[in-house]
Structure 1
Amino acid sequence: MIQYKLVLFKIQFGANIRVPVGGYMLGIELRRNSGVSLARQIYRTLRNQMTEGRLKQGDVLPSTRELAKHLTVSRNTVYEAYEMLSAEGFIESRPGSQTRVANGLLLAKADPPAEHFEEAVQATISYLVDFQTGQPDLRYFPQSSWLQYLRKAAESLPQEQWGYSGAEGIPALRREIAGWVYRSKGMTVHPQNIFITSGATQALHLLAELLSVYGKDILMEDPCHMGMLRVLQGKGFNILPVPVDKQGLQTDFLKNSGACAIYVTPSHQFPLGGILPATRRAALIRFARENDLFIIEDDYDSEFRYCGPPVAPLYTMDSQRVIYVGTFSKILYPALRIGFVVLPRRFHSQWCYLRRHVDVQNPPFEQAALAKYLRTRKLDRHVRKMRKLYGQRREILLQAIEEKFSRTWHPWGDASGLHLALEFPGLHFDQAFLLRCKESGIRIALVDYHSINKNLHSDKLLLGYGHLEAKEIRQGVSLLHKCLHAASRR
């Protein structure tokens, strides 16, 4: 057992403290093997004592020599700690006078953390089969060649682009995206109208700021992507829901409401999967023109269509009313965080102003690498390969569901994308059912979760399949069948 030699040290603000030499004084306990410097440990302990009231305003601190002696540290270490306290205004000292605790430092005791907080913020759950939506299969991403592109991009990037290269994005990437959307979707876009973003979510944040001067009401598909809904609600918008059916937005329900914009996913409605037909597209554009509002077109995964080529974007019908939002998260990998917006010219200067005050720009290295990836047509080939793979998995999923559930279900939105919706007429799925699925080892989602008006789609489930192998898909469907069977018996 370590024996401490005790000494009596007279603290000048009136307390007699028994101090073990070399370890403990003024409540300072030094941990010499810690990654935190001794000076910062001393600073932190004294600061906490001042804010907690154990050291009161006007109290005199020991001299640097005295404290260093009793903590068995160098005087410079204590001096550095006092310097930090002095720089932040915790102590006051003048040449030839004593060092005292400053006034006004006492803080009320902070509220204790909420009980079971760690339980509420749960660690990532390991599922036997995870039907999460919107997940590409990263196992097939050509990681090694992509890393080579990144390295070459960093080496060849002009010096001026290591600085602030502009809120619009680097010119090479904007040119290559213009070529990509023409090849893949038939969109004719000038590179000057393309603005690089950190994904579709950031794009919506900026568009909300941009359009808020025109009003605070916005029309939105119901159901819709809950994350995007919350972005708009967080910006103070009043959401006006428009119902969706198997063909997407029901334009017959559009009403003149003074809204500034309407958010739609016409090429693959999320979450129900409908493709907006030409008559509704024309009706939507007429409505936007007649009511002087803008259409935000979120084209999040239309590259993966299994019954013909990708659908032409709504943008091609009116480039002045439609603001097109694209992303590479689903066709490459989610962590890339590169998306783009095609903006009418009237918004260019305001967009740049807003982007400069958010995060200035995307990192230039990923932009340069993606530009070369597009220029060499690597992305075109990767998308064709993944479209074939995802199409095969879609067929496996539909076949497995047919085998297990016979004709008690109907698919929604199975022609494209990385997920499908399943309707089970007469059933009602709720949180209790989700919990049973979780306990059985599978994750699924409810369409009703994404609904603004609840209980209109409570008979539908969402199953993402793009990232699952055939064996996982069949196992997941089998587990889902058991959960549904148990639920029906209850």
Structure 2
Amino acid sequence: MARTAGVAEIPSIGTLDRAVGNLSRQVAQALREAVRKGDIQPGDALPSTRLLAASLQVARGTVIEAYEQLIAEGFLESKGGVGTRVAQALAEPQPASEPRASRRRIARPGLPEPAATFARIAREFRPLAPVPFAISVPIGLTAPADIWRRLGNRLRAKGPGAPAGYTDPLGALPLREAIAGYVRKSRSVRCDPGQVIVTSGTQQGLFLACQVLLASRDQAWVENPAYRGVTAILESTGHRDAMIRVPVDTEGIDVEAGIRMAPHARAAFVTPSHQYPLGMPMSMARRNALLAWARANHAWVVEDDYDSELRYQGYPFPSLQGLDPDRVVYLGTFSKILFPSLRLGYVIVPDDLVDAFCGARVLMDRHPPNADQHVLAAFMAEGHLERHIRRVRNVYADHRVQLMETLDALLPKDLAWLESGDQGMHVILWLAEGIDDRKVVELAAAAGVAVRPVSPMFAPGTQRPGLVLGFGGFSHAQMKEAARRLASVIAEVTKSLKRKHAALRRPSMRSGKN
């Protein structure tokens, strides 16, 4: 059978006016206009004269004549074996200080209120540069690269990870089976694979929980401070006023305070294994009190069990879900322990919520991408995940100690001090009262150091300045240099603050004798 050549089209050329005539000039002008509007750009390849002529239904000579005219003008360039392209010389150089991708977007007046909310969230959640002290940068000893590639090559080509049609919204069964076995052994979670829903990470799990568990006027307990991802969801989905920020102390969320503030809340969002961002685990007394409240009020507890694998001292508490599977929605992720770009996590829900979560999932993105699910299932089934966690725990424990010792030596205790904690991938560096942690973040970024501020994680009026510092994927030398730069930034911000206070205390030139 004869092969049919594909027809390349440039829609912006539009329809040629055959009554006017001189079609080659019309083609040339249409190409100039397409470049001017940005439809085709310097360096873009143009279709061959034969294909463009077929698309426009003109003689090939017409297109050849148009191309030759534009080549003569320097508008196009043609090289043997490469074809015809828009001349690279037409590209306008971008200022080095303002790359196109980073230009500030100015919102037009009249945009819907949700658009403004989501725009603020987008700015807040921009990923940090992969430099110290960004969290979850899996390089060197903490990256499962070779094993992952080998399994991927085996499973994506002709195995179960090969391209297929729509799959189960709950996720691939082999991965759900592997997850159910893993959390049973490591976290005392009680479930079967039918209760596991594979997500694209904890953030999607939190969004699903908010969609399924909360009606329009339902109140929800949220820790204060809390992971900004959950408060941003509630703010952006109409639950801002129904979000009850319950204080956290050394034992975790203060259940008695939550009952005083909102006894009939529908759900409580907690991080009991490793409170985010402060780092302490929830005490057993608080766990029992929280679950007793949930049972008495037919409420739900959403347990974000992030970082539970990375405990460096002692033995971790079992999950809340294992204490009451009927009242707890359990969230986990592989982003931290493997690598964030994997975008695979899971939600484990009570039997009577499986269909509800599945329905919400269908409307969101139908089902998770299939290939990496099967790679991860094999990675877990062959024992690689458990070995990887042991290796990562040892590496991170050493990095954590090194970072804490370095910061202690560099920073005066009256300016900054570390929050003690014995698990996770980050530490909290508290700043003295009055220091603007957002300003420190801005100046640190300019110095090549990536940190996040703590103050936005608090409810309004309760903020404390501090910084979140990750230590996972960086060498000792990298972290030591970054710590030195960060200490210089904090010192400079402190000096600026003192100068400002001195200026405010200085008596006015007009005060005194007349």
For normalisation by structure 2, the TM-score amounts to 0.72
User: Which residue of the partner structure matches residue 196 of structure 1?
Assistant: 198
Give distance in 2, aligned partners of 1:228 and 1:342. 18
User: Which residue of the partner structure matches residue 235 of structure 1?
Assistant: 237
Alignment CA distance shift 1:324-1:28 (3 Å): same
- Check whether the contact 1:168–1:352 (CA below 8 A) recurs between aligned residues: yes
User: Which residue of the partner structure matches residue 329 of structure 2?
Assistant: 323
- Check whether the contact 1:199–1:327 (CA below 8 A) recurs between aligned residues: yes
Q: Does 1:119 align with 2:103?
A: yes
Give distance in 2, aligned partners of 1:25 and 1:181. 64
Letter in 2 for 1:182: R
User: Which residue of the partner structure matches residue 173 of structure 1?
Assistant: 175
CA offset at residue 71 of structure 1?
8.8
Within 5 Å, which residues of 2 pair with 1:330-349? 330-349=336-355
2:459 is aligned, of 448, 452, 455, to 452
2:45 is aligned, of 29, 35, 39, to 35
Within 5 Å, which residues of 2 pair with 1:42-121? 68=58, 72-73=62-63, 118-120=102-104
Give the match's secondary structure for 1:262.
Answer: strand
1:151 is aligned, of 132, 153, 176, to 153
Give distance in 2, aligned partners of 1:42 and 1:293. 67
- Check whether the contact 2:435–2:493 (CA below 8 A) recurs between aligned residues: no
CA offset at residue 140 of structure 1?
3.0
State which drifts further: 367-376 or 423-432: 423-432
Alignment CA distance shift 1:134-1:215 (3 Å): farther
CA offset at residue 228 of structure 1?
2.4
CA offset at residue 318 of structure 1?
1.0
User: Which residue of the partner structure matches residue 356 of structure 2?
Assistant: 350
Give distance in 2, aligned partners of 1:161 and 1:320. 37
User: Which residue of the partner structure matches residue 257 of structure 2?
Assistant: 253
User: Number of matched residues?
Assistant: 414
- Check whether the contact 1:268–1:301 (CA below 8 A) recurs between aligned residues: yes
- Check whether the contact 1:246–1:273 (CA below 8 A) recurs between aligned residues: no
User: Which residue of the partner structure matches residue 107 of structure 1?
Assistant: none
Q: Runs of at least 4 residues of structure 1 off by over 6 A?
A: 9-12, 30-33, 38-44, 124-128
Give distance in 2, aligned partners of 1:400 and 1:142. 28
Alignment CA distance shift 1:42-1:266 (3 Å): farther
Letter in 2 for 1:205: F
Letter in 1 for 2:459: I
State which drifts further: 33-42 or 283-292: 33-42
Identity of aligned residues (%): 26
Give the match's secondary structure for 1:175.
Answer: helix
- Check whether the contact 2:161–2:371 (CA below 8 A) recurs between aligned residues: no
Letter in 1 for 2:45: G
Give distance in 1, aligned partners of 2:355 and 2:487. 54
CA offset at residue 395 of structure 1?
0.3
Deviations 1:360-393 (A, max 9, x none): 2223321222111111111000000000000000
Alignment CA distance shift 1:134-1:288 (3 Å): farther
User: Which residue of the partner structure matches residue 411 of structure 1?
Assistant: 418
Q: Does 1:464 align with 2:470?
A: yes
Letter in 2 for 1:338: L
Letter in 2 for 1:422: L
- Check whether the contact 1:184–1:310 (CA below 8 A) recurs between aligned residues: no
2:393 is aligned, of 376, 387, 392, to 387
User: Which residue of the partner structure matches residue 248 of structure 2?
Assistant: 244
Give distance in 1, aligned partners of 2:368 and 2:449. 36
Alignment CA distance shift 1:251-1:153 (3 Å): same
- Check whether the contact 1:199–1:329 (CA below 8 A) recurs between aligned residues: yes
- Check whether the contact 2:160–2:374 (CA below 8 A) recurs between aligned residues: no
CA offset at residue 269 of structure 1?
1.1
Letter in 1 for 2:227: H
- Check whether the contact 1:199–1:339 (CA below 8 A) recurs between aligned residues: yes
Give distance in 2, aligned partners of 1:277 and 1:159. 42
State which drifts further: 364-373 or 435-444: 435-444
2:271 is aligned, of 246, 252, 265, to 265
- Check whether the contact 2:408–2:417 (CA below 8 A) recurs between aligned residues: no
How well do the aligned residues superpose, as a CA RMSD in angstroms? 3.5
Q: Does 1:292 align with 2:298?
A: yes
For normalisation by structure 1, the TM-score amounts to 0.75
Deviations 1:103-162 (A, max 9, x none): xxxxxxxxxxxxx9852169x999795312344446531212111112222356459993
Letter in 2 for 1:239: M
- Check whether the contact 1:28–1:42 (CA below 8 A) recurs between aligned residues: no
Letter in 1 for 2:450: R
- Check whether the contact 1:157–1:365 (CA below 8 A) recurs between aligned residues: no
Give distance in 2, aligned partners of 1:117 and 1:245. 42
Give distance in 1, aligned partners of 2:315 and 2:491. 38
- Check whether the contact 2:452–2:467 (CA below 8 A) recurs between aligned residues: yes
Alignment CA distance shift 1:119-1:252 (3 Å): same
Give distance in 1, aligned partners of 2:161 and 2:479. 49
User: Which residue of the partner structure matches residue 67 of structure 2?
Assistant: none
Give distance in 1, aligned partners of 2:217 and 2:227. 22
Alignment CA distance shift 1:137-1:229 (3 Å): farther
CA offset at residue 425 of structure 1?
4.1
Give distance in 2, aligned partners of 1:71 and 1:29. 16
Deviations 1:193-241 (A, max 9, x none): 2111111111122222211348542221122121222123222223221
Q: Does 1:487 align with 2:463?
A: no
- Check whether the contact 1:268–1:413 (CA below 8 A) recurs between aligned residues: no
Alignment CA distance shift 1:480-1:161 (3 Å): closer
Give distance in 1, aligned partners of 2:184 and 2:209. 24
User: Which residue of the partner structure matches residue 58 of structure 1?
Assistant: none
Deviations 1:410-453 (A, max 9, x none): 42252111101122444522433333323333222221022222
1:429 is aligned, of 432, 436, 456, to 436
Uncovered stretches (5+) of structure 1, i.e. residues with no partner = 1-8, 45-63, 75-115
CA offset at residue 340 of structure 1?
0.8
State which drifts further: 250-259 or 159-168: 159-168
